[in-house]
A = this chain, B = another copy of it.
Amino acid sequence: MNSIKNDLLLKTIQGDFTQRPPVWLMRQAGRILPQYRKIRNSLSGFKELVQTPDLLAEVTVQPVDELGVDAAILFSDILVIPEAMGLDYELIEKKGPSFPVTIKSKADVDRLLSGAAAAEKLGYVYDGIDHTKKALEDRVPLIGFAGAPWTLLAYMIEGGGSKTFAQAKKFLYQENVAAHELLNKITETTIAYLKLKIKHGCNVIQVFDSWAGLLGPTLYAEFAIPYIKRICKAIDEVPIIVFSKGAWFAINDIARLSCDVVGLDWNFNPANARAAFGNDLVFQGNLDPCCLYAPEAVIVEKTEEMLKAFGRNHIANLGHGVYPDTPLDNVKVFVNTVKNYRYAGKS
């Protein structure tokens, strides 16, 4: 059915026989690449890049050319969704995202756009996919992504990055009805958005719940899982990867979602994850991003250890986005170690 030349990622997700795991890196389109930095430095800001279809296509394809990874991931930002809903954000260099206006009450939530009406505002993303598909020429699958509803709510309430997201969590405790309404609106928008991304050519979807670990089991069960579940159920056109960073306490619930791949951060011991969930669940991850600062021999050793421990049904990746100051040569050692690896035995 698919015309992707290197379909190792799709085969792995389907449970087909492969000789090695596919490999890509979260944040592979970014500061680790000199060709990215060149484009980025020629622009006024990060948002200009996110909103310029031919440029975002160019930086999306760069890691496929430079690193030889088995998938491209569309260059974008999870905060395009709040913006489409009516909440503008800025990206301040070395400080991160910032919302000049935040959500403070149910009335603020009521005013937000949602669903198809919001998703339609993101024409530059869909144009970017069109450009990317042309440039990729079906060499590898294209991954599209979205933030999970809780993580997006966290930014919309808090107004920016935070160690604790205490204001966002306060909203969950104090404004139960408004919080659920906001999560509903984000979820509806995200589903419409992802369906349009798929229509324009994304072959796989990843949902990032970056701040999952700030909630405990009770809050996560109430405010996160049901909304991710709705997204997973709604997206039946292509496989979906769920990466809930830090949500070890909810890993049973996540594994039971109708998602195709469970992303793991580097806190997980791969052998223990296999022991708990069996050999059939497809995991993605999970080398410590800081391991790519190590000498070459250590990167090779730790990567091979991880590959052996996960065995088949595994997508090799880091346990978080690659850090921007990671030496490019070390990233290549990681990618090539996976590409040179062969599973023992026959299918």
Chain A contacts to B: CB under 8 angstroms: 161, 163-164, 166, 169-170, 172-174, 213, 216-219, 246, 248-249, 266-269, 288-291, 293-295, 298, 302, 319, 323, 325
Main secondary structure of the interface of A (DSSP, over half): helix
Q: Which of B161, B267, B289, B325 contacts A217 (CB 8 A)?
A: B267
Copies of this protein in the assembly total 2
Q: Which of B174, B249, B293, B298 contacts A269 (CB 8 A)?
A: B249
3 interchain residue pairs of minimum CB distance: A169-B290, A173-B294, A170-B293
> In the complex, what distance in Å separates the CA atom of A323 from the CA atom of B267?
26
Q: Looking across the interface, which residue of chain B has its beta carbon closest to that of A291?
A: B173
- B288 touching A216, Cβ below 8 Å: yes
Please give the distance in Å from A160's CB to the nearest CB on chain B. Answer: 13
- B248 touching A249, Cβ below 8 Å: yes
Please give the distance in Å from A79's CB to the nearest CB on chain B. Answer: 17
**Residue of A219, A267, A290 with highest tally of chain B CB at under 10 A:** A290
- B319 touching A216, Cβ below 8 Å: yes
> In the complex, what distance in Å separates the CA atom of A319 from the CA atom of B268?
21
- A267 touching B293, Cβ below 8 Å: no
